[in-house]
Amino acid sequence: MRFAVIVFPGSNCDVDMFHAIKDELGAEAKYVWHTEGSLEGYDGILLPGGFSYGDYLRSGAIARFSNVMNEVVKAAEAGKPVLGVCNGFQILLEAGLLPGAMRRNQNLKFMCRTVQLKVENADTLFTGAYQEGEIIQIPIAHGEGNYYCDEETLAKLKENKQIAFTYHGENPNGSLADIAGITNEKGNVLGMMPHPERAVDILLGSADGLRLFQSIVKHWRESHVVNA
């Protein structure tokens, strides 16, 4: 499986994402600059964290208009796995690939620490290696992770089981319904504020994030065997 790690001006977690895929997962990864006009040949698309375009105007709002985002949308529509982490999640929201919006943390402070997440839906291509209800340890690092949507959207997220992860024990940013990560209705696009790529080795304090990437590869292999 071949992953594209999208790099925007201001991305700062792209190297972490590349390391997680290449060195820990053992899959193929390549950096793709935001000006690229094609994602042909990539099986999975990864939007890393950081401060794309300095987070000016609004987090993810400028990156959403980058040339490569047209191809990210096409990849999502084609059913390819698309993962946006932290700033990547914000970009997916701005691009309309996921519902809702992101606000400043409730305490108006940047936070960087490990938190507990609850796996709300283990029946997605991103969470197949987890158990539903399992509590995992994943770090956060954000100033605008306070997820919000209207009541109708929240009801749909719950009804369609699009809430993949919630904060457990402590909601660090005030996110609505403790939401830490959501998928689109089709289930092939995941946005999450915590950083699984920073939890891929026990030396980092947790290896719980590695299973998310393993889930993607396992699903991809199984789907290609079926389609072969």
Q: Which amino acid is at 177?
A: A
Query: Any idea what the CATH number is for the domain that residue 195 is in?
Result: 3.40.50.880
Q: Burial letters for 27-62: b for 16+ Cβ neighbours within 10 Å, e otherwise?
A: bebeebebeeeebeebbbbbbbbbbbbebeeebbbb
pTM of whole model > 0.75? Answer: yes
Evaluate if residue 221 carries a pLDDT over 90. yes
Is 195 an active-site residue?
A: yes
170 counts as catalytic:
no
Catalytic-labelled residue, pool 71, 94, 144, 197: 197
Question: pLDDT tens digits, residue range 86-120?
Answer: 999 999 999 999 999 999 999 999 999 999 999 99
Catalytic residue among 34, 142, 168, 195: 195
Under the banding of pLDDT at 50, 70 and 90, the label for residue 205 is: very high
- Reported as a single tens digit per residue, the pLDDT across 140-190 is 999 999 999 999 999 999 999 999 999 999 999 999 999 999 999 999 999
Torsion of CA 192, 195, 200, 203, to 10 degrees: -150
Where residue 227 falls among pLDDT bands split at 50, 70, 90?
Answer: low
Per the structure, the complete domain to which residue 98 belongs is given by: 2-227
Catalytic, 219? Answer: no
Catalytic residue among 71, 86, 94, 144: 86
Side-chain half-sphere of 164: how many Cα atoms within 13 Å?
A: 26
Under DSSP, the state recorded for 92 is H
The domain total for the chain is 1
